A = this chain, B = another copy of it.
Amino acid sequence: MKKFTILLPLFLGGLFFAQTKADSLEFKKISDEILTNGQAYNNLHQLTKDIGHRLSGSEAYEKATKWAYEKLKEAGADKVWYQDVMVPVWERGKESLQIKSGKNSWKSLNMLSIGNTEGTGGKDLEGEIIYVKSLEDLDKMNEADVKGKIVFFNYPFNQTFISTGQAYGDAGKYRFSAASHVAAKGGKAMIIRSLSSAFDDVPHTGTQTYDTKYAKIPAVCIGVKSADELENTLKTQKVFAKLNSNCGMKGEKLTHSVIGELTGKKDQSVIAVGGHLDSWDVGEGASDDGAGVVQSIEVLRTFKKLNIPNNHTIRVICFANEENGARGAAKYAEVAKEKNEKHIFGLESDSGGFAPRGFGLVMNDEKRNEVKSWSALFFPYGIYDFSKKYAGTDVEPLGDLGTPTGELAPDSARYFDIHHTNEDTFEKVNRRELLSGASAMTQLIYMIDKNW
């Protein structure tokens, strides 16, 4: 038996070595193809410059769905279709915020209404601003001290977190849900410091949800500089605000996610990869999430171009409505469940087209360890981190059905400088960084397609 137990590992070792070599060559082919012939950067230019920002429900979003349909065809999809999604329609309209202290005249601030917020109906809403240090402090305050006031939070991004996503999560509640806490105490509007890693005066919008038990009060964000100045002024004097905005929910609308696939050669089980096609209604939606859309299309294009024989169906989903409802994601999983489509993996790119460093993974330990066992193949491409346990918002509903999911994890330094702002433009995306991310995604999907 001894001889056998020595030979078997040698034999398996030999097989392992030969396979690893073949995979390593395929990784190089994928990287070479994308870094030299990749279309993702040019496609992003079209999406951002020809269409621009595209909140779901808008005309621009409709244009984007047609564009995505054509791009998936062009990339070589066997089949492309629209998936119906009913989305909330939120419109910003005109908006302004002015403040006044002492004998000074009114001064305009750079501002954006928080998404999904109701505005002032085009009338001036005036009131005294009160600074409240934290949501916890607010919850402890007497109603009499808040009633009729405009509550101002200046909770900063924690710069010491290495992942800016962690800092975003930490400060997130001020945008996501604080307005209803203010309303619960009788406050009539809310102003918050933007969720931003930068130190400029650019306001960052984003979604929020009202607790329907309370009044739907207007909620706006201002830039970091203005927020610090305002906090400072409030230390010594009263400050009044005049807010005027037209924003609000305008019902619902039928629109679409756009889906294209390369049909599986061995079976019809699905590897899903996507980004969200919608964006906030500012900037160009380049990093959030034009990048993820064009990278996902690039995965399909590369499989087709290199003639990689995909065992399973590689399906690209350009999701509708991630930003203010995530209805596209919910609908996709609902249909997959109805049709009893087996999904073996769901991957999203929604953290910007920055230099890739790894993948967040949500799956059992066995699968995770299998992915980690491929690390040496990824290392030469700067992909080394498989430790994070998260996946994109749009593949979460698939995860809830038991599908292993993940998200491209690019370097996080720059994303929250421009996230949900007028600065989220094509110019902030670097060609090589974007393409490297697409390459890493294609490499991971190649391995999963082959081994799962």
Q: Which 9 pairs, one residue from A and one from B, show the smallest C-beta to C-beta distance?
A: A413-B432, A32-B160, A355-B411, A413-B433, A35-B159, A384-B384, A36-B159, A414-B430, A355-B413
A198 beta carbon closer than 8 Å to chain B = yes
Question: Given A355-B411, A411-B411, A436-B413, A382–B431 Cβ distance below 8 Å?
Answer: no
A199's closest neighbor in chain B, by CB? B431
- Indicate whether A26 reaches chain B with its CB closer than 8 angstroms: no
Q: A159-B35, A432-B413 are in contact. Are A382 and B357 (CB under 8 A)?
A: yes
Q: What 1/0 flags go to A425-436 for Cβ under 8 Å of B?
A: 000001111001
Which residues does chain B contribute within 8 Å of A159, judged by CB atoms? 35-36, 432
A322 contacts partner chain B, Cβ-Cβ < 8 Å: no
A197 touches B432 (CB 8 A): yes
For A160, A357, A385, A411, the residue with the greatest tally of chain B CB atoms inside 10 Å of its CB is A411
Convert A296-331 into 0s and 1s, putting 1 for each residue whose CB lies closer than 8 angstroms to a CB of B.
000000000000000000000000000000000000
- In addition to A357-B382, A411-B433, 10 A-B residue pairs with Cβ atoms within 8 Å of each other are A31-B162, A32-B160, A162-B381, A162-B436, A198-B431, A413-B430, A413-B432, A413-B433, A414-B430, A414-B433
Min distance, Cβ A184 to any Cβ of chain B, angstroms: 33
User: How many angstroms from the CA of A385 to the CA of B289 in the assembled complex?
Assistant: 29
Q: Report yes or no: B160 in contact with A36, Cβ–Cβ below 8 A.
A: yes
CB distance from A407 to the nearest CB of B (A): 17
Measured CB to CB, the closest approach of chain B to A33, in angstroms, equals 9
Residue contacts A-B, CB under 8 angstroms, 29 given: A31-B160, A31-B162, A32-B160, A35-B159, A35-B160, A36-B159, A36-B160, A159-B432, A162-B380, A162-B381, A162-B436, A164-B432, A198-B431, A199-B431, A355-B413, A357-B382, A382-B411, A384-B384, A384-B385, A411-B411, A411-B433, A413-B430, A413-B432, A413-B433, A413-B436, A414-B430, A414-B432, A414-B433, A417-B430
In angstroms, Cα B410 to Cα A357, docked, is 12
Q: Which residues of B contact A198 (CB under 8 A)?
A: 431
Q: Please name all residues of chain B whose beta carbon is closer than 8 Å to the beta carbon of A164 when the two chains form the complex.
A: 432
Residues A365-383 near B (CB distance < 8 A): 380-382
Q: Which residues of chain B come closer than 8 Å to A355, judged between CB atoms?
A: 355, 411, 413
Distance (Å) between the CB of A410 and the closest chain B CB? Answer: 10
Digitize A413-452: 1 where CB-to-B-CB distance is under 8 Å, 0 elsewhere. 1100100000000000011110010000000000000000
> A381 contacts which chain B residues (CB < 8 A)?
162
A10: min CB distance to chain B, Å: 28
Find chain B residues with CB under 8 A from A380 CB.
162
Bound complex: CA A331 to CA B32 (Å): 42
Residue on B with the closest CB to A416? B432
- For A436, the closest partner residue in chain B by CB is B413
List the B side residues contacting A417 at CB < 8 Å: 430
